[in-house]
Amino acid sequence: MIGDTFTVRSDLDQIEAAFVGTPLAGLPIGHGPSGTVLVADIDPNRLHEAWQAADALVPVIGRRPVMATDDFDDTLRIRPEPAPGPLESELRAFAEAAESSEPWLAYRHYSEDDEVDEGEVEYYARGMAGVDLTALVSNVALPTPCQALERALYDRLLADADLYARVLGSVRFVTQTDYWYTPASVLLMLLPTSDVRSSGYWVDFYGALTREYQRTLAEVLAQWRHRWDARLVASWGTMLQFQVGRPPAPGDEAWTAAGQLKALAPNLDLSRWELAVALPAGDAWFVHNRP
């Protein structure tokens, strides 16, 4: 998308014209890093609304949106001249390598292989939200893999509607936009691609610091978009935020989604069984992976 001066200016003019009548109209717009376009002065309290406006325009402008912040990086700013992005052949090779990757072998939660011994059941069964389900797994033979214990908790919880509702009331906050992080300064970054998998090339995330992990993350973006209609709204470095159009159904779908979210977000403070309860009830996902 980087060409001569006229072509570049025409690109910006086309985007500005597309913004008319949306919350993005009249905002400062210019060149960003690596072939991107930046829109400044996004109201942090309306960042989701602004992103939705940009997402609706992807078929028109051919650029996928993601919110970014310069709170931690003062080099992220509008530039007077365009910075070249990857060659088409490089981006195609990136997407092909991403598609052939195995993200759930690369991303695994640090507790996935833990064993639960006598005296440890209450820790796992109480969860992070404080609803104690120890009685539900009192007959589980120990020691047992952590994942087996949590799945037993979840399956037995599904069979008790009243207890399930009680747990849901304490954990559903993690699937609401109120739980998202809001920076002081927000910019809209328009990526020079409309392809979900290719968009991973530009995503800034602590869990994808190498090119190999960037490709792996790109495949996560593609898989989540296909299965859950999960769309990346914001990338804050150690945090990713997603709008989810098809939340998983309770049961196997929610259990799978919870495991994947925990693998990508080791700093998300809920047990897998709690997250499996929460995910079907909301349309916002929060990924936290920090040092």
* pLDDT tens per residue across span 157-202: 999 999 999 999 999 999 999 999 999 999 999 999 999 999 999 9
Give the span between the Cα atoms of 10 and 106, in whole angstroms. 41
Q: What is the pLDDT of residues 107-125, one digit of tens each?
A: 998 888 889 998 888 888 8
As a whole number of angstroms, the distance between CA 10 and CA 61 comes to 11
For residue 291, whether the previous peptide bond is cis, meaning omega lies within 30 degrees of 0, is no
Q: Count structural domains, the chain.
A: 1
Separation between Cα atoms, residue 217 and residue 209, nearest integer Å:
10
pLDDT for residue 54: 98
Structure tokens at 201: 């090339």
The reported pTM is 0.94
Spell out the residues 6+ positions from residue 20 whose beta carbon is closer than 8 angstroms to its own. none
Q: What is the domain range of residue 50? A: 1-291
pLDDT (0 to 100) of residue 78:
96
Tell whether the model's pLDDT for residue 7 goes beyond 70: no
* Structure confidence at residue 4 (pLDDT): 42
pLDDT above 90 (res 14): yes
Task: Phi first, then psi: give them for residue 22, nearest 5 degrees.
Answer: -115, 170
